[in-house]
Amino acid sequence: MSTQENINYERIAEAINYIKLNFKAQPNLDEVAEKVNLSPFHFQRLFTDWVGISPKKFLQYLSLEYAKGILKDKQATLFDTAYETGLSGTSRLHDLFINIEGMTPAEYKNGGKELSINYSFAQSPFGNIIVASTPKGICYMAFADDHADALDQLKQHFPNATYTQVVDLAQQDALFIFKKDWSQLPAIKLHLKGSSFQLKVWEALLKIPMGGLCSYGDISQNIQLPNASRAVGSAIGANPVAFLIPCHRVIRATGESGQYHWGSTRKSAIIGWEAAMLNQPVSI
C-alpha cells in the first residue's frame, strides 16, 4: 500500500471519529468533507473507494441499533453452526484456516532467550502494522502508528529473543488477510505465548465470522465459563495478534463497541469495513 493510501485511511478515520462524536447532529456530507479538508465530491469518492459504500450507508453499520440486531441474531455468534456455512466466499471462517499453537515454557522462558523472531512493517487498510514470526508461525501483529514504539512493545513480550528485520513467508501469508479474495488465503499458523485460559479465549474469537459480532458473555458461554466475563475481557485485551484473531468483533452486550487496544476509532472502522465487505457482491 502506498503512502497516499495510508493518508487516505487517516482521513477516513478522522471522518469516522467526527461522525461518531457528532452523531446526534447527523452531519451531512458537506460538513464531514470540510472536516477532512476535501470537497464533498472527492470525499464521497475517497470513502467509496476505501470501503465500497457511501459514508451514509457506512454510518448505518456503526449504529447502536445495527450492533444490537447482530447480537440478537443467533447466526451472528455461529459458535454452534460455524462449520455449517461452507468454505466459499464471505462464509469462509477464520477458524478454518488459522491455527493456534501455544508456546512451550521452554520457548518463552528467560524472556524468550531461545526464540529467533523475524519482524517487519507493512501497511493495511487500517494503517501501519508490525508483524513478527518465529519458525513455527506468527507470534505478534499490531497496528503500529509509531514504528519505534511498536518495536519496543514487541520486545517487551520477548525481551531476550533474537530479532531480525526481514519479511518471511509466514508474514506474507498473514498479510493476505487484508486482501479481498479470502478464497485464496493459505493456512496461517500462530505461535503464541499465553496461558491455557488465554489460548482458549483466543481460539473462541476465531469462530466469529466476518461481519459477526458477539459479547463478552457470549465468549464466556462458549468456553463453558459463564461467570468469567471479566477474565475473558482481560484475555481479549491481551490478544497479541491484531485482526487475525478478531478481538474487534467483541462488543458490549448493550451494542456499544467498547474498548480496543489499538483505538476505538480503528475498531469502528474495522467493524464497518467488514460489514460493508460482507454485504457487497464480491469474494472475500
Tens digit of pLDDT per residue, the chain (284 long)?
456 667 788 888 999 888 878 777 778 889 989 998 999 999 998 888 888 888 888 877 877 777 787 777 644 444 443 333 333 333 344 444 688 999 998 888 888 998 999 999 998 989 999 999 999 999 999 999 899 999 999 999 999 999 999 999 999 989 888 875 555 667 889 999 999 999 999 999 988 888 888 899 989 988 989 888 899 999 999 999 999 999 999 988 888 888 899 999 999 899 988 888 776 533 32
C-alpha cell at 136: 513455527
Is residue 214 a contact partner of residue 71, using CB atoms and an 8 Å limit? yes
β-strand pairing of 127-134 with 250-251:
unpaired
C-alpha cell at 243: 485482526
Tell me the DSSP string of 221-263. HHTT-TT-HHHHHHHHHT-SBTTTS-GGGEE-TTS-----TT-
Q: What is the rounded distance in angstroms from the CA atom of residue 205 to the CA atom of residue 82?
A: 12
139 given a catalytic annotation: no
pLDDT at 177: 85
Contacts of 77 (CB under 8 A, 6+ apart): 207, 208, 212, 214, 218, 222
Global pTM reads 0.82
Residue type, 281: P
SS3 258: coil
Residue in the block written with cell 447466526: 75
Alpha helices per DSSP H over 140-228: 147-157, 169-175, 196-205, 216-222
Task: Write the CA distances from 194 to 20, 100, 105, integer angstroms.
Answer: 34, 11, 10
Quickly count helices (H) and strands (E) in the chain. 13, 8
| Residues 32-74: tens digit of each pLDDT | 899 989 999 999 988 888 888 888 888 778 777 777 877 776 4
Beta-bridge mates of residue 106: none
pLDDT at 277: 79
pLDDT at 219: 92
- Look at the chain and count its residues: 284
User: How high does pLDDT run on average in the chain?
Assistant: 83
| Residues 210-236: tens digit of each pLDDT | 888 889 998 998 898 988 889 999 999
CA angle 229, 232, 238 (to 5 degrees): 150
pLDDT at 198: 95
Active-site entry in 139, 170, 219, 247: 247
pLDDT at 284: 29
pLDDT at 249: 92
pLDDT at 154: 96
